Amino acid sequence: MASPPVPWWASESLWKKTAIWVTAIMLAILIFLSFDTVNQITAGGTRVPAYSAINQRIYYRLDRTRGYQVPVIGDAAPLFGALLGETDAEALVTHGKLTVQAKNCMDCHTLLGNGAYYAPDLTKAWLDPGWVDESVREKLMLEFLLDPTANARTFGTGRRMAHLGITEPEARGVIAFLKWMAAIDTNGFPAEFPAVAQAGDP
């Protein structure tokens, strides 16, 4: 007795071809998204500023079209009064990033949402209202990093940062890294972040 014919939609040949085409299409999409992601996260791109952004004023303004606060790169405001070229700015920011990694800051903090939740997220730490206002921010940040015990900032939580033995060059690098990171367009993350008092605020 002959077997009933297999419907076309159930044929082995159709599903093999479908699997090959779907795999090829998904691979093409993956390659495209990979290149797009690299473009999006590369310094100097659309969302991630060049390292020399640390030479400029970084502040927050409400983007009414997007519905949340976005970082704005404004007029010249060199970090610690030193105007750096792109190469030197990258070196300073990288030194700060490596210091953050070496000191295991993400054991307590989060950066761009990744890390632990014991201490504040550092994504927009440069703009944190705890630094009072822009005129004294660099001084307060440097003093805090060099001696967090004497310059404790608990914000009512009672939690204190450990003394990590950060040197002044390391601290300046960390501050450069935090200033640069604050300029990254994170699509409103962290949400409802209250920025430090800024010149031009109403």
Is the separation of the CB atoms in 53 and 73 below 8 Å? yes
**Domain definitions of the chain by residue range:** 11-41, 51-182
The percent of residues in the chain predicted with pLDDT above 90, rounded, is 64
Give the pLDDT score at 38: 86
Q: Is the pLDDT of residue 46 over 90?
A: no
pLDDT of 175 higher than 60 = yes
The model's pTM: 0.83
Helix (H, G, I), strand (E, B) or coil at 199: coil
- Nearest partner of 166 among 97, 99, 98, judged by Cα: 99
Residues 6+ apart with CB under 8 A from 21: none
Query: Across residues 131-145, what is the average pLDDT?
Result: 91
Three-state DSSP at 79 gives helix
d(CA 90, CA 201): 30
186-195 burial by CB neighbour count: b if 16+ within 10 A, else e? beeeeeebeb
Which one, of 97, 118, 112, lies nearest residue 161 by Cα? 118
Q: What is the pLDDT of residues 67-120, one digit of tens each?
A: 998 999 999 999 999 999 999 999 999 999 999 999 999 999 999 989 999 888
Bridge partners (DSSP) of residue 51 are: none
Give me the pLDDT at residue 182, please: 95
Q: Are 164 and 103 in contact (CB under 8 A)?
A: yes
Strands (E) located in 13-77? 56-63, 68-76
Assess whether pLDDT exceeds 90 at residue 1: no
Q: How far is CA 148 from CA 91, 107, 144, 165, 196, in A?
A: 25, 17, 5, 10, 20
How many residues does this entry show for the chain?
202
Q: What pLDDT is stored for residue 201 in this prediction? A: 59
Q: Mean pLDDT over residues 145-174, rounded?
A: 88
Cβ-Cβ contacts under 8 Å for 117 (sequence gap 6 or more): 110
CB 70 within 8 A of CB 188: yes
Q: By C-alpha distance, which of 75, 46, 31 is closest to 187?
A: 46
What top-level class would CATH report for the domain 51-182? mainly alpha
